[in-house]
Amino acid sequence: MSKKINVLYYTSTSDSVGSSYILRLLSKLAVSLELRIITNKPNFFQPSHNVKIIDVNVNNIRNVLIRKYCFYIKVSLQQIKNKSDINFAFHDSAPALLFLVTKAKNIIFFHQAHDLCVRWSFSPGNLFGLLKILNKRLVCRAMKKAEKVICVSPMLANYAVSLGIRAEKLTIIPHGIEPSNYLPSFIAKNQFKVVIPEKSFIVLYAGWINENRGLSEIIDSLELISKTGKKIFYLIIGFEKQLLDEYNTILKRKGLDANSLLLGRVDAKYIPFLIDKAHICLSLLSNKMKTYRLSPPQKIMEYFALGKPVIANRIETHEYLIEDGYNGIIIDSLDSVALSEAIFKVHEDKELLKKLSVGALVSSKKYNINDQVRLIEQIIKKLMQ
Protein backbone atom coordinates (compact mmCIF):
# COMPACT_ATOMS: atom_id res chain seq x y z
CA MET A 1 0.00 0.00 0.00
CA SER A 2 1.41 3.41 -0.97
CA LYS A 3 2.06 6.02 1.68
CA LYS A 4 -0.16 9.09 1.76
CA ILE A 5 1.05 12.62 2.45
CA ASN A 6 -1.24 15.45 3.46
CA VAL A 7 0.14 18.77 2.19
CA LEU A 8 -1.27 21.74 4.11
CA TYR A 9 -1.00 24.92 2.11
CA TYR A 10 -2.53 28.35 2.65
CA THR A 11 -1.73 31.16 0.24
CA SER A 12 -3.06 34.52 -0.85
CA THR A 13 -1.38 34.80 -4.26
CA SER A 14 0.05 32.67 -7.06
CA ASP A 15 2.13 35.27 -8.88
CA SER A 16 4.97 35.72 -6.39
CA VAL A 17 8.29 33.96 -6.65
CA GLY A 18 7.52 32.20 -3.35
CA SER A 19 4.23 30.74 -4.54
CA SER A 20 5.74 29.82 -7.88
CA TYR A 21 8.50 27.97 -6.05
CA ILE A 22 6.05 26.02 -3.88
CA LEU A 23 3.87 24.99 -6.82
CA ARG A 24 6.92 23.78 -8.70
CA LEU A 25 8.24 21.97 -5.64
CA LEU A 26 4.98 20.09 -5.09
CA SER A 27 4.66 19.13 -8.75
CA LYS A 28 8.13 17.60 -8.59
CA LEU A 29 7.43 15.77 -5.32
CA ALA A 30 4.27 14.32 -6.87
CA VAL A 31 6.37 12.41 -9.40
CA SER A 32 7.44 9.95 -6.70
CA LEU A 33 5.02 10.58 -3.81
CA GLU A 34 1.23 10.43 -3.38
CA LEU A 35 0.01 13.86 -2.29
CA ARG A 36 -3.29 15.11 -0.94
CA ILE A 37 -3.11 18.89 -1.08
CA ILE A 38 -5.42 20.58 1.43
CA THR A 39 -5.60 24.20 0.34
CA ASN A 40 -7.67 27.36 0.08
CA LYS A 41 -6.56 27.79 -3.57
CA PRO A 42 -7.35 24.52 -5.37
CA ASN A 43 -7.23 26.23 -8.77
CA PHE A 44 -3.46 26.71 -8.32
CA PHE A 45 -2.87 22.99 -8.69
CA GLN A 46 -3.25 20.49 -11.51
CA PRO A 47 -4.70 17.13 -10.34
CA SER A 48 -2.84 14.05 -11.53
CA HIS A 49 -2.73 10.36 -10.77
CA ASN A 50 -0.54 11.12 -7.73
CA VAL A 51 -2.27 14.32 -6.59
CA LYS A 52 -5.67 14.77 -4.98
CA ILE A 53 -6.86 18.33 -4.31
CA ILE A 54 -9.01 18.99 -1.23
CA ASP A 55 -10.68 22.40 -1.31
CA VAL A 56 -10.83 24.22 2.02
CA ASN A 57 -12.61 27.34 0.88
CA VAL A 58 -12.36 30.34 3.20
CA ASN A 59 -11.80 32.97 0.51
CA ASN A 60 -15.21 34.62 1.02
CA ILE A 61 -14.27 35.67 4.59
CA ARG A 62 -13.12 39.27 4.41
CA ASN A 63 -11.16 39.57 7.66
CA VAL A 64 -7.65 38.19 7.10
CA LEU A 65 -7.09 36.86 10.62
CA ILE A 66 -10.51 35.21 10.82
CA ARG A 67 -10.01 33.76 7.33
CA LYS A 68 -6.72 32.14 8.29
CA TYR A 69 -8.04 30.72 11.55
CA CYS A 70 -11.06 29.28 9.76
CA PHE A 71 -8.65 27.68 7.31
CA TYR A 72 -6.63 26.03 10.07
CA ILE A 73 -9.73 24.72 11.82
CA LYS A 74 -11.03 23.25 8.55
CA VAL A 75 -7.59 21.81 7.80
CA SER A 76 -7.56 20.08 11.18
CA LEU A 77 -10.94 18.50 10.41
CA GLN A 78 -9.71 17.39 6.99
CA GLN A 79 -6.67 15.77 8.55
CA ILE A 80 -8.93 13.77 10.86
CA LYS A 81 -11.10 12.76 7.91
CA ASN A 82 -8.18 12.01 5.55
CA LYS A 83 -5.71 9.90 7.49
CA SER A 84 -2.13 10.17 6.32
CA ASP A 85 1.32 8.80 7.04
CA ILE A 86 2.99 12.22 6.77
CA ASN A 87 1.80 15.79 7.15
CA PHE A 88 3.83 18.31 5.17
CA ALA A 89 2.84 21.87 6.02
CA PHE A 90 3.88 25.37 5.13
CA HIS A 91 2.30 28.77 4.85
CA ASP A 92 1.73 31.35 2.16
CA SER A 93 4.19 32.60 -0.44
CA ALA A 94 7.13 33.03 1.94
CA PRO A 95 7.66 29.57 3.46
CA ALA A 96 10.11 30.44 6.19
CA LEU A 97 9.52 27.04 7.76
CA LEU A 98 8.26 23.64 6.67
CA PHE A 99 6.88 21.09 9.13
CA LEU A 100 6.83 17.32 8.66
CA VAL A 101 4.94 15.02 11.01
CA THR A 102 4.76 11.23 10.75
CA LYS A 103 1.54 10.52 12.64
CA ALA A 104 -1.87 11.81 11.59
CA LYS A 105 -2.86 12.32 15.23
CA ASN A 106 -0.21 15.03 15.48
CA ILE A 107 -2.47 17.70 14.04
CA ILE A 108 -0.48 20.71 12.92
CA PHE A 109 -2.12 24.00 13.82
CA PHE A 110 0.01 27.04 13.10
CA HIS A 111 -0.11 30.55 11.81
CA GLN A 112 2.47 32.10 9.50
CA ALA A 113 6.05 31.43 10.49
CA HIS A 114 6.87 35.15 10.49
CA ASP A 115 4.94 35.39 13.76
CA LEU A 116 7.85 33.62 15.46
CA CYS A 117 9.44 37.06 15.59
CA VAL A 118 6.70 38.68 17.69
CA ARG A 119 7.85 39.83 21.11
CA TRP A 120 6.21 38.34 24.20
CA SER A 121 4.37 41.57 25.06
CA PHE A 122 1.37 43.54 23.92
CA SER A 123 -0.46 46.74 24.81
CA PRO A 124 -3.51 46.40 27.05
CA GLY A 125 -6.62 46.21 24.93
CA ASN A 126 -4.64 45.44 21.78
CA LEU A 127 -6.42 42.34 20.48
CA PHE A 128 -4.24 42.17 17.39
CA GLY A 129 -1.12 42.07 19.56
CA LEU A 130 -2.63 39.31 21.67
CA LEU A 131 -3.41 37.28 18.56
CA LYS A 132 0.17 37.72 17.35
CA ILE A 133 1.47 36.28 20.63
CA LEU A 134 -0.97 33.39 20.33
CA ASN A 135 0.26 32.80 16.79
CA LYS A 136 3.86 32.62 18.01
CA ARG A 137 2.90 30.01 20.58
CA LEU A 138 1.09 28.00 17.90
CA VAL A 139 4.12 28.07 15.59
CA CYS A 140 6.43 26.96 18.41
CA ARG A 141 3.99 24.20 19.33
CA ALA A 142 3.87 22.97 15.73
CA MET A 143 7.65 22.98 15.48
CA LYS A 144 8.00 21.01 18.71
CA LYS A 145 5.48 18.42 17.52
CA ALA A 146 7.13 18.04 14.15
CA GLU A 147 9.62 15.24 13.70
CA LYS A 148 11.54 17.31 11.18
CA VAL A 149 11.67 21.07 10.64
CA ILE A 150 13.16 22.39 7.41
CA CYS A 151 14.65 25.88 7.64
CA VAL A 152 15.71 27.98 4.66
CA SER A 153 18.77 29.48 6.37
CA PRO A 154 21.20 28.92 9.26
CA MET A 155 19.88 32.14 10.82
CA LEU A 156 16.39 30.71 10.96
CA ALA A 157 17.66 27.41 12.37
CA ASN A 158 19.60 29.23 15.11
CA TYR A 159 16.51 31.25 15.98
CA ALA A 160 14.44 28.08 16.20
CA VAL A 161 16.97 26.64 18.65
CA SER A 162 16.70 29.81 20.74
CA LEU A 163 12.96 29.15 20.99
CA GLY A 164 13.54 25.70 22.42
CA ILE A 165 13.41 23.57 19.25
CA ARG A 166 15.88 20.68 19.43
CA ALA A 167 18.74 21.13 16.96
CA GLU A 168 18.55 17.51 15.78
CA LYS A 169 15.06 18.22 14.37
CA LEU A 170 16.36 20.95 12.11
CA THR A 171 17.55 20.62 8.52
CA ILE A 172 18.71 23.59 6.42
CA ILE A 173 17.52 23.53 2.81
CA PRO A 174 17.56 26.89 1.01
CA HIS A 175 14.91 28.03 -1.43
CA GLY A 176 15.47 27.00 -5.03
CA ILE A 177 14.71 28.05 -8.58
CA GLU A 178 13.71 26.09 -11.66
CA PRO A 179 16.70 26.42 -14.05
CA SER A 180 14.55 25.92 -17.16
CA ASN A 181 12.61 29.11 -16.33
CA TYR A 182 15.72 31.16 -17.06
CA LEU A 183 16.66 29.66 -20.40
CA PRO A 184 16.36 31.83 -23.54
CA SER A 185 13.54 29.59 -24.84
CA PHE A 186 11.39 30.18 -21.72
CA ILE A 187 12.08 33.92 -21.75
CA ALA A 188 11.18 34.15 -25.44
CA LYS A 189 7.79 32.50 -24.77
CA ASN A 190 6.96 34.75 -21.80
CA GLN A 191 7.68 38.29 -22.90
CA PHE A 192 6.23 41.32 -21.12
CA LYS A 193 5.71 44.54 -23.02
CA VAL A 194 7.84 47.37 -21.62
CA VAL A 195 9.33 50.48 -23.18
CA ILE A 196 12.90 51.17 -22.05
CA PRO A 197 15.20 53.80 -23.59
CA GLU A 198 17.80 52.24 -25.87
CA LYS A 199 21.40 51.91 -24.65
CA SER A 200 20.36 52.60 -21.07
CA PHE A 201 22.03 51.00 -18.07
CA ILE A 202 19.11 49.22 -16.37
CA VAL A 203 18.78 49.00 -12.59
CA LEU A 204 16.01 46.59 -11.57
CA TYR A 205 14.11 45.99 -8.36
CA ALA A 206 11.41 43.31 -8.24
CA GLY A 207 9.40 42.23 -5.21
CA TRP A 208 7.11 43.60 -2.55
CA ILE A 209 7.39 47.39 -2.45
CA ASN A 210 7.27 49.24 0.88
CA GLU A 211 9.36 51.47 3.13
CA ASN A 212 10.90 48.48 4.91
CA ARG A 213 12.29 47.33 1.55
CA GLY A 214 14.14 50.50 0.69
CA LEU A 215 11.50 52.30 -1.36
CA SER A 216 12.52 55.79 -0.24
CA GLU A 217 16.22 55.01 -0.74
CA ILE A 218 15.57 53.69 -4.26
CA ILE A 219 13.67 56.83 -5.27
CA ASP A 220 16.22 59.15 -3.62
CA SER A 221 19.11 57.35 -5.35
CA LEU A 222 17.32 57.73 -8.68
CA GLU A 223 17.12 61.47 -8.06
CA LEU A 224 20.83 61.65 -7.22
CA ILE A 225 21.86 59.61 -10.27
CA SER A 226 19.65 61.59 -12.64
CA LYS A 227 21.71 64.69 -11.81
CA THR A 228 24.83 63.05 -13.31
CA GLY A 229 23.26 63.00 -16.76
CA LYS A 230 24.18 59.34 -17.22
CA LYS A 231 21.76 57.06 -19.09
CA ILE A 232 20.80 55.03 -16.03
CA PHE A 233 17.22 53.79 -16.00
CA TYR A 234 15.29 52.29 -13.06
CA LEU A 235 12.78 49.47 -13.61
CA ILE A 236 10.84 48.90 -10.36
CA ILE A 237 8.33 46.04 -10.19
CA GLY A 238 5.83 45.07 -7.52
CA PHE A 239 3.71 48.10 -6.61
CA GLU A 240 0.17 47.76 -5.29
CA LYS A 241 -2.25 49.92 -7.30
CA GLN A 242 -2.58 52.79 -4.80
CA LEU A 243 1.16 53.02 -4.18
CA LEU A 244 1.84 52.79 -7.92
CA ASP A 245 -0.36 55.81 -8.62
CA GLU A 246 1.18 57.73 -5.72
CA TYR A 247 4.77 57.17 -6.80
CA ASN A 248 4.11 57.77 -10.48
CA THR A 249 2.80 61.18 -9.42
CA ILE A 250 5.88 61.78 -7.23
CA LEU A 251 8.32 60.85 -10.02
CA LYS A 252 6.49 63.03 -12.53
CA ARG A 253 6.57 65.97 -10.13
CA LYS A 254 10.31 65.47 -9.59
CA GLY A 255 10.91 65.16 -13.33
CA LEU A 256 12.14 61.57 -12.95
CA ASP A 257 9.47 59.78 -14.97
CA ALA A 258 11.72 59.70 -18.06
CA ASN A 259 14.41 57.91 -16.03
CA SER A 260 12.21 55.18 -14.61
CA LEU A 261 9.34 52.78 -15.15
CA LEU A 262 7.17 51.60 -12.28
CA LEU A 263 5.11 48.43 -12.68
CA GLY A 264 2.47 46.82 -10.50
CA ARG A 265 2.50 43.18 -9.56
CA VAL A 266 3.67 41.03 -12.46
CA ASP A 267 3.03 37.30 -12.78
CA ALA A 268 6.11 35.24 -11.91
CA LYS A 269 6.38 33.75 -15.40
CA TYR A 270 7.22 37.18 -16.85
CA ILE A 271 9.83 38.08 -14.25
CA PRO A 272 12.76 36.29 -15.97
CA PHE A 273 12.13 38.34 -19.14
CA LEU A 274 12.24 41.57 -17.12
CA ILE A 275 15.30 40.56 -15.10
CA ASP A 276 17.07 39.72 -18.35
CA LYS A 277 16.68 43.37 -19.37
CA ALA A 278 18.70 44.55 -16.37
CA HIS A 279 22.41 45.14 -15.90
CA ILE A 280 22.25 45.08 -12.12
CA CYS A 281 19.54 44.35 -9.54
CA LEU A 282 18.68 45.62 -6.07
CA SER A 283 17.68 43.97 -2.80
CA LEU A 284 17.11 46.28 0.14
CA LEU A 285 15.80 45.19 3.55
CA SER A 286 15.38 47.05 6.82
CA ASN A 287 17.41 45.37 9.56
CA LYS A 288 14.74 46.51 12.01
CA MET A 289 12.50 43.73 10.70
CA LYS A 290 13.38 40.48 12.46
CA THR A 291 11.98 38.30 9.68
CA TYR A 292 14.22 39.97 7.12
CA ARG A 293 17.20 38.78 9.18
CA LEU A 294 16.01 35.17 9.09
CA SER A 295 14.64 34.31 5.64
CA PRO A 296 16.83 35.23 2.61
CA PRO A 297 15.05 36.88 -0.36
CA GLN A 298 14.26 34.30 -3.05
CA LYS A 299 14.40 37.04 -5.67
CA ILE A 300 18.20 37.17 -5.39
CA MET A 301 18.37 33.59 -6.67
CA GLU A 302 16.37 34.66 -9.72
CA TYR A 303 18.75 37.53 -10.33
CA PHE A 304 21.73 35.18 -10.08
CA ALA A 305 20.13 32.67 -12.49
CA LEU A 306 20.37 35.27 -15.25
CA GLY A 307 23.85 36.40 -14.25
CA LYS A 308 22.69 39.66 -12.70
CA PRO A 309 24.78 40.89 -9.75
CA VAL A 310 22.98 42.40 -6.79
CA ILE A 311 23.53 45.58 -4.81
CA ALA A 312 22.21 45.04 -1.28
CA ASN A 313 22.51 46.55 2.18
CA ARG A 314 24.38 44.75 4.94
CA ILE A 315 22.05 42.34 6.73
CA GLU A 316 22.54 38.68 7.64
CA THR A 317 20.27 37.29 4.94
CA HIS A 318 21.94 39.32 2.20
CA GLU A 319 25.41 38.30 3.32
CA TYR A 320 24.27 34.66 3.32
CA LEU A 321 23.69 34.88 -0.46
CA ILE A 322 25.89 37.75 -1.63
CA GLU A 323 29.67 37.84 -1.45
CA ASP A 324 30.83 41.43 -1.75
CA GLY A 325 32.94 41.88 -4.88
CA TYR A 326 32.15 38.39 -6.22
CA ASN A 327 28.44 38.25 -7.14
CA GLY A 328 27.33 41.66 -5.93
CA ILE A 329 28.09 44.68 -3.80
CA ILE A 330 27.18 45.06 -0.13
CA ILE A 331 26.64 48.62 1.07
CA ASP A 332 27.04 49.22 4.79
CA SER A 333 23.69 50.86 5.40
CA LEU A 334 20.28 51.39 3.85
CA ASP A 335 21.30 54.76 2.46
CA SER A 336 20.47 56.47 -0.84
CA VAL A 337 23.93 58.04 -1.22
CA ALA A 338 25.71 54.70 -0.68
CA LEU A 339 23.24 53.03 -3.06
CA SER A 340 23.71 55.59 -5.83
CA GLU A 341 27.51 55.41 -5.44
CA ALA A 342 27.44 51.60 -5.77
CA ILE A 343 25.26 51.79 -8.88
CA PHE A 344 27.48 54.44 -10.41
CA LYS A 345 30.60 52.39 -9.61
CA VAL A 346 29.29 49.35 -11.52
CA HIS A 347 28.04 51.56 -14.35
CA GLU A 348 31.51 53.07 -14.83
CA ASP A 349 33.54 49.87 -14.42
CA LYS A 350 32.59 47.42 -17.18
CA GLU A 351 35.20 44.88 -16.07
CA LEU A 352 33.75 44.90 -12.56
CA LEU A 353 30.26 44.35 -13.96
CA LYS A 354 31.50 41.42 -16.04
CA LYS A 355 33.25 39.87 -13.03
CA LEU A 356 30.19 40.24 -10.80
CA SER A 357 27.92 38.80 -13.51
CA VAL A 358 30.07 35.67 -13.81
CA GLY A 359 30.04 35.25 -10.03
CA ALA A 360 26.25 35.64 -9.91
CA LEU A 361 25.75 32.96 -12.56
CA VAL A 362 28.07 30.53 -10.76
CA SER A 363 26.29 31.22 -7.44
CA SER A 364 22.90 30.32 -8.95
CA LYS A 365 24.00 26.68 -9.31
CA LYS A 366 23.64 26.27 -5.53
CA TYR A 367 19.92 26.99 -5.65
CA ASN A 368 18.57 24.40 -8.08
CA ILE A 369 15.09 23.30 -7.06
CA ASN A 370 15.81 19.75 -8.26
CA ASP A 371 18.49 19.43 -5.58
CA GLN A 372 16.07 20.69 -2.93
CA VAL A 373 13.42 18.22 -4.05
CA ARG A 374 15.85 15.32 -3.73
CA LEU A 375 16.75 16.36 -0.18
CA ILE A 376 13.10 16.76 0.84
CA GLU A 377 12.20 13.40 -0.72
CA GLN A 378 14.97 11.76 1.30
CA ILE A 379 13.61 13.26 4.52
CA ILE A 380 10.03 12.22 3.78
CA LYS A 381 10.94 8.67 2.72
CA LYS A 382 13.11 8.21 5.80
CA LEU A 383 10.23 9.27 8.03
CA MET A 384 7.96 6.83 6.22
CA GLN A 385 10.13 3.83 7.02
Banded model confidence at residue 117, pLDDT cuts 50, 70, 90:
very low
Mean pLDDT, all residues of the chain: 83
Banded model confidence at residue 69, pLDDT cuts 50, 70, 90:
confident
Q: Are 157 and 148 in contact (CB under 8 A)?
A: no
Q: Distance from CA of residue 194 to its chain's centroid?
A: 24
pLDDT value at position 285? 93
Identity of the amino acid at 17: V
Q: Give the domains, in start order, of the chain with CATH numbers.
A: 4-176+368-384 (3.40.50.2000), 180-366 (3.40.50.2000)
pLDDT value at position 16? 60
**Bigger pLDDT: 106 or 357?**
357
Angle at alpha carbon of residue 107, lines to 104 and 111, rounded to 5°: 145
Q: pLDDT, tens digit, for every residue of 247-290?
A: 999 999 999 999 999 999 898 889 999 999 999 999 999 988 88
**Bigger pLDDT: 345 or 133?**
345
Q: At what angle do helices 17-29 and 369-384 cross, to 10 degrees?
A: 50
This prediction has a pTM of 0.86
CA distance linking residue 320 with residue 295, whole number of Å: 10
